[in-house]
Chains A and B, each alone.
Chain A
Amino acid sequence: MQRFASASRVFTLARRSYATPPSPSALVLIEHKDDKIVPASLNAITAARKLGGTVTGLVVGEEASTKAVVEGAQKLGLDALLHRTSPALAHALAEPLAPVLAALVKSGNYTHLAAAHSAQGKNIFPRVAGILGVQQISDVMAIESPDTFVRPIYAGNAIATVKSSDSIKIFTVRSASWDAAVSGEEQAAWVSEELTKSERPDLGSAQAVVSGGRGVKSKESFDSIIFPLADALGAAVGASRAAVDSGYADNSQQVGQTGKVVAPSLYVAVGISGALQHLAGMKDSKTIVAINKDPDAPIFQVADHGLVADLFEAVPELTKKVEEAKK
């Protein structure tokens, strides 16, 4: 117990204890794959910084696979970095990881626990929330205050602002709504690596995305039409659910309510009609280009530039023109 020297001091302390909630102290789970930080985690760090308090990073996994990740995370300017290794934490399974997270949050007196709204975040965090008895907040697009969050509902057709009454706030972050936290040094290293390997960029964080739909008709034409345009633009390749279900593209390429949510500078929708569930995954893109032979396709209602044409003619031609424009 404290004793107070004067009445004014009592007043000050009392006012502070009422008016100022404990300063936010956020723990961010840094997801990694193939010895690299998953870009979506960098967006989660940006979101955690918005809370205005300290941000602590957490890297978990096997000893060998986390070394490079820890080195990368050290360059992010975090207030602290926790690192826990164990063979049991190798594949980021929710069962061993969730109790570790719950215990860390409690013992470290963290007010917030954040991660990307990725398959991993969506798998692990509800389990942590269950253990702690906390109502999680999923897919956060904006933070208004340490207890007030903005998130999409009904496939992004409504935006809800919610206020949490839990003492610990557990939330996952919509990558497309936040910039990535990167140090200049790391960004440079990252880009050169991508370039030398000439890999296609990651769908979730790409500057440009070219997506194909049912209109592409076959896996062969998907490979021969969508991929060259994506390569010409340095874009990631996405797909509609119809394209995935028909086997034209891989599950992990699906853009939409039940797939990935992307917000690149440029989104090119090829042979995609634009159903609600697809729009949910791409309508925050800065510029949307649609190529479809059906002039009434709903995609044209959101497209900044629409081309009514047969994609089998228009896309190769466009690819050629983009290649020429680059020269």
Chain B
Amino acid sequence: MRASPPTWIKLLVPIKRTVDYSVKVRVGPKGVETAGVKHSLNPFCEIGELACEGSIGRGEEASSAAIGRTSSGATKAAVHPVEEAVRLREKLKERIESITVVTIGPPKAADVLRTALAMGADAAIHVEVKDGQDVQPLGVAQALKAIVEQEKPDLIILGKQAIDDDSSQVGGMLAGLLDWPQANFASKLEVEGDKIKVAREIDGGLETLMMALPAVVTTDLRLNEPRYASLPNIMKAKKKPLKKMKAEDLKVDLTPRLETLKVEAPPARQGGAKVSDQAIAKGFKTKYPTVRK
């Protein structure tokens, strides 16, 4: 944290590589099968600039073929937090000092960092872990805290949840560890002087918070529409700095606190017959008397 209100803002955008949102995952003997499955930037991550949640729902109605097989449709590279960081720079120009993206994951997770760099981030940090290593939200939050202490960002933007573990924890945990204010599930973000104004999605609608920097924001789907990286930008991204680190460098213990005992497929649901509306009306009357007033 800086002693005086920042005149420039340094952004940190944590992102995650996950199984692509359009993939119908299969549960094998050792849990969800991820080998050979299409991966991409966690959709909620693209929103923030790399935070992860935007493309998740995009397919909700458009991809009617998504069930039962892998969709071959092009996916944006995961990115609402990333998008939001880039938009802040477009709006605030030189007030944004830098945008650094960070991921904690296996060697292949470097792909999502390149995607984020192509979207407009300046630099990337990859905390590399072994393939298949289970890193849980607390470990991620502790590693991010160590990175925050090195990088000294003013604003951290991340996705509201990863679409694989669906935990929705990292942002809040990180804010708690740093003792910074937090705004989860943001659908609007504005910088006003040395403060940020955030509208967040709550169960009944929206609430607006004003908070001092430094702060942690997690992005909801409606924050923005992530952009596609253009080919020239993808080429440029290859020259941007990408720093590799290990968990040991950060002095954090990534040992999982939750042991996964088993992973099973949910009970399958059988589609019923296609019927006439008269039969449905009759069914309501006889089978669900309680739902009627």
Residue of B nearest to A136 (CB): B169
By a CB distance below 8 angstroms, the chain B residues around A93 are 209
- Looking at the assembled complex, report how far the CB atom of A201 sits from the nearest CB atom of chain B, in whole angstroms: 10
- Looking at the assembled complex, report how far the CB atom of B104 sits from the nearest CB atom of chain A, in whole angstroms: 15
Please state if A265 and B57 are interface contacts (CB–CB under 8 Å). Answer: no
Most chain B C-beta atoms within 10 Å of own C-beta, residue among A125, A153, A195, A306:
A153
Complexed CA–CA distance, A266 and B160 (Å): 30
By a CB distance below 8 angstroms, the chain B residues around A195 are 293
A85 within 8 A of B: no
Scan residues 3-42 of chain B and give those whose CB is less than 8 A from a CB of chain A. Answer: 19, 21-22, 24-25, 27, 31-32
By a CB distance below 8 angstroms, the chain B residues around A152 are 166, 266
Provided the pairs A95-B182, A130-B172, A301-B67 are in contact, do residues A240 and B201 lie with their beta carbons within 8 angstroms? no
Number of A-B contacts (CB under 8 A): 293
A89 within 8 A of B: no
- Looking at the assembled complex, report how far the CB atom of A50 sits from the nearest CB atom of chain B, in whole angstroms: 17
Give the number of residues in A that approach B within 8 Å (Cβ atoms).
Answer: 102
Please state if A130 and B177 are interface contacts (CB–CB under 8 Å). Answer: yes
Provided the pairs A159-B263, A301-B68 are in contact, do residues A127 and B276 lie with their beta carbons within 8 angstroms? no
B153 within 8 A of A: no
Provided the pairs A156-B266, A158-B263 are in contact, do residues A134 and B257 lie with their beta carbons within 8 angstroms? yes
Scan residues 79-114 of chain B and give those whose CB is less than 8 A from a CB of chain A. Answer: none
Please state if B284 and A155 are interface contacts (CB–CB under 8 Å). Answer: no
A179 within 8 A of B: no
Residue of B nearest to A297 (CB): B64
A294 within 8 A of B: yes
By a CB distance below 8 angstroms, the chain A residues around B173 are 126-127, 129-130, 136
Please state if A252 and B205 are interface contacts (CB–CB under 8 Å). Answer: yes
Residue of B nearest to A94 (CB): B182
Please state if A322 and B32 are interface contacts (CB–CB under 8 Å). Answer: no
Complexed CA–CA distance, A1 and B287 (Å): 64
Complexed CA–CA distance, A33 and B34 (Å): 41
By a CB distance below 8 angstroms, the chain A residues around B287 are 287
A182 within 8 A of B: no
Please state if A123 and B184 are interface contacts (CB–CB under 8 Å). Answer: yes
Please state if B259 and A233 are interface contacts (CB–CB under 8 Å). Answer: no
- Looking at the assembled complex, report how far the CB atom of A7 sits from the nearest CB atom of chain B, in whole angstroms: 36
A163 within 8 A of B: yes
Please state if A306 and B271 are interface contacts (CB–CB under 8 Å). Answer: yes
Give the residue of B61, B141, B277 whose beta carbon is less than 8 angstroms from that of A321.
B277
Complexed CA–CA distance, A265 and B187 (Å): 32
Provided the pairs A163-B258, A241-B61 are in contact, do residues A131 and B291 lie with their beta carbons within 8 angstroms? no
By a CB distance below 8 angstroms, the chain A residues around B32 are 153-154, 157-158
B149 within 8 A of A: no
Q: Give 1 or 0 for each of B137-154: 1 = CB within 8 Å of chain A CB.
A: 110010000000000000
Give the residue of A126, A245, A256, A301 whose beta carbon is less than 8 angstroms from that of B222.
A245
B189 within 8 A of A: no
Q: Give 1 or 0 for each of A133-160: 1 = CB within 8 Å of chain B CB.
A: 1111111000000001000111111111
- Looking at the assembled complex, report how far the CB atom of A134 sits from the nearest CB atom of chain B, in whole angstroms: 7
Residue of B nearest to A166 (CB): B257
B190 within 8 A of A: no
Please state if B185 and A123 are interface contacts (CB–CB under 8 Å). Answer: yes
By a CB distance below 8 angstroms, the chain A residues around B279 are 305
By a CB distance below 8 angstroms, the chain B residues around A308 are 274
Please state if B138 and A133 are interface contacts (CB–CB under 8 Å). Answer: yes
B241 within 8 A of A: no
A114 within 8 A of B: no
Q: Give 1 or 0 for each of B258-293: 1 = CB within 8 Å of chain A CB.
A: 111111111001011111111111111101101111
Please state if B64 and A273 are interface contacts (CB–CB under 8 Å). Answer: yes
B203 within 8 A of A: yes
Complexed CA–CA distance, A278 and B68 (Å): 14
Complexed CA–CA distance, A296 and B67 (Å): 11
Complexed CA–CA distance, A162 and B209 (Å): 35
A118 within 8 A of B: yes
B60 within 8 A of A: yes
- Looking at the assembled complex, report how far the CB atom of A179 sits from the nearest CB atom of chain B, in whole angstroms: 15
Complexed CA–CA distance, A324 and B284 (Å): 11
6 closest A-B pairs by beta carbon, nearest first, are A126-B172, A130-B176, A135-B257, A130-B173, A321-B281, A241-B57
Q: Which residues on B are within 8 Å of A, measured CB to CB?
A: 19, 21-22, 24-25, 27, 31-32, 53, 56-68, 136-138, 141, 160-161, 163-177, 181-182, 184-185, 187, 201-207, 209, 220-222, 256-266, 269, 271-285, 287-288, 290-293
Question: Can you pick out 26 interface pairs between chain A and chain B where the beta carbons lie within 8 Å of each other?
Answer: A119-B201, A119-B203, A130-B175, A133-B138, A134-B138, A153-B263, A157-B25, A215-B61, A240-B60, A245-B222, A252-B202, A256-B57, A258-B161, A265-B288, A274-B67, A275-B59, A275-B62, A276-B21, A276-B24, A276-B67, A277-B57, A294-B64, A297-B64, A300-B271, A304-B271, A325-B281
18 further interface pairs, Cβ-Cβ under 8 Å (given A122-B185, A305-B280): A94-B175, A122-B184, A123-B182, A130-B141, A130-B173, A130-B176, A136-B138, A155-B163, A157-B27, A158-B266, A159-B264, A159-B266, A161-B264, A240-B61, A242-B60, A258-B161, A301-B68, A322-B284
Q: Which residues on A are within 8 Å of B, measured CB to CB?
A: 33, 38, 91, 93-95, 98, 118-120, 122-131, 133-139, 148, 152-166, 195, 204, 207-208, 213-215, 233-235, 240-242, 244-245, 250-252, 256-258, 260, 265-266, 272-279, 283, 287-289, 294-298, 300-309, 314, 317-318, 321-322, 324-326
